[in-house]
Amino acid sequence: MKITVLGAGPAGLYFALLMKKQSPAHAITLLERDGPNDTFGWGIVFSQRTVEVLKDSDPDTCAEITRRAETWDDVAVVHRGERITVGGNRFYGIARIALLNILHRRCLDHGVEIRFLTNVADLSELGPSDLLVGADGANSLVRRTYADFFLPLVDLRQNKYIWLGTEQPFDGLTMGFRQADAGLFITHSYRFSPTMSTFIVECPPETWLEAGLDRMSGEETCAYLAGVFKAELQGRSLRSNNFVKWLNFPLVKNKRWHHRNVVLLGDALHTAHFSIGSGTKLALEDALALAGCFAEHRTVEAALPAFERVRKPVVDEFQQAATESLTWLENVGEHLGLDPVPFAYRLMTRSKRVGYNRLKQKDPAFIARYDRWRQEHPSTGAIPEEFLDLFQKRTFAHLATQMADGTPHVTSVWVDYDGKHVLINSAKGRLKDRNMEQRPHVALEITDPDDPNRYLAVRGAVAEITEEGADEHLDKLARRYLGRDQYPPGWKLPGEVRRIYKIAPERVTPWAPFR
């Protein structure tokens, strides 16, 4: 095949390499607007699982990457000046330019043509090819050109962030939370060489404006943030790599992944928030999946649908975890009152992919410390602490109410918790409304959407039914369940009156045998 790849980032380079290894007869050309030694990032990070996937598919490239990488096992959380570490998290950090240069050499060694400093402004400039791969980043020209077919959704998130570097070598993947005069600042930092670390700073928009960062030069920005994180940096400076720009993270999704002989890869196809370090991982695994589909199906017509069918569920799961993580950080203010140990636990479980049992396997000492804290600070609510995450996910509960003749009525509902009551929001006059009003004893099964073997069984009575604040509460639920700031008005019936049902738990049975 004649293959044209737009964008020589990790996704495009790795796909080109894998395809050339499959068949040296493929004529593969990568077009990249920047030079071979240009990069606007610092370091990137991989988990142990990602490295194992790379090793299985391409051991030579993996060996070069791991040889250049820094490694560590701890995640560190700095809150209220205290550093809490959680072990059992093997990571590899490498300079972005080092990774790109490794892939450059591997591609060139296998006969891939890379045209640097080639800025494509219009796809009509490209000649014909059997396959066009859009690996040209979050602002993809390929995606924009065929937007009517890919149907992209780009959601710019609220927090501002900036990508910096420092000569402070951090021992592990470190997340720090600092209250400055202007407001809250969060840092994500990790070592990618013996002497250098990535240092990402994010903050709410109100903090950014209050600090005057919208008016500062690059040097002023680095100096100001170095002052905020003086303790973490141990007095060392921050560096900008000649590129200081505050950004809002773009959450990119596409309804369709391919059109005719055109397919998207990496950030052009989807993004994952840097707080779980999955962007480059997803890009490389995209390349592996697409190349694997060509190895199995051979033709463009068969391989591209297979790629979407095989890969999309995996990406959807990671994007959901990344979105949970960034949403938690956007709303971290509600957790800042916690002591450092429970704060670190909440942070480690924020993506909903890691729970109590997995943390206990990874780092028994941390969980023992967390358990001691829980014993010293017993929960005042009926719901166990380790199951509160169910009320932060798109968790559907099954509500059982009693009919007039004594038979059960079961319905699926959105569910919330206020620290004392389980909350249901419904419309006045519905069957479950009449049942709860007349016969208040109910039961709920609240199942983890990520693990059907994990759930809460709750029995209790409706202690209060109120219309006050019910519409506002429904909008709050819509943000969690629909990803919208407001419950769609068109979904309500004319004259519909919303109600909140406050259920006082009398018996709570948690079940999580496999976590």
Q: With 0.85 as the threshold, say if the pTM is over it.
A: no
pLDDT, the chain, mean: 93
The mean pLDDT value for 142-170 works out to 95
- Segment 385-397 shows an average pLDDT of 87
Distance from C-alpha of 345 to C-alpha of 330, rounded to nearest angstrom: 17
pLDDT in the model for residue 246:
94
Candidates 289, 237, 244, 238; CA nearest to 263 is: 289
CA 350/CA 117 separation, integer angstroms: 41
Please write the tens of the pLDDT for every residue from 293-347.
999 998 999 999 999 999 999 999 888 888 888 988 998 988 888 899 999 998 9
User: Looking at 134-148, 350-364, 493-507, which range is the least confident one?
Assistant: 350-364
Inform me whether the pLDDT recorded for 39 exceeds 90.
Answer: no
pLDDT of residue 221: 96
Domains and CATH numbers, the chain: 2-324 (3.50.50.60), 333-382 (no CATH), 389-511 (2.30.110.10)
- The pLDDT of residue 209 is above 80: yes
Beta-strand runs (E) in 20-172? 27-31, 43-47, 70-72, 75-79, 82-86, 91-95, 113-115, 131-134, 152-166
pLDDT interval class at 515 (50, 70, 90): low
Are the C-beta atoms of 158 and 203 separated by less than 8 Å? no
Predicted confidence at residue 402, as pLDDT, reads 97
Amino acid sitting at position 326: L
pLDDT higher than threshold 80 for residue 112: yes
How many angstroms separate the most distant Cα atoms in the chain?
Answer: 78
Q: How confident is the model at residue 514 (pLDDT cuts 50, 70, 90)?
A: low
At residue 355, the pLDDT reads 79
Cα 241–Cα 243–Cα 246 angle in degrees, nearest 5: 125
Whether pLDDT at 44 is above 60: yes
Of 325 and 257, the structure prediction assigns the larger pLDDT to 257
- pLDDT tens digits for 400-445? 999 999 999 999 999 999 989 999 999 999 999 999 999 999 999 9
Q: How far is CA 31 from CA 35, 270, 416, in A?
A: 11, 20, 50
pLDDT level of residue 453 (50, 70, 90 thresholds): confident
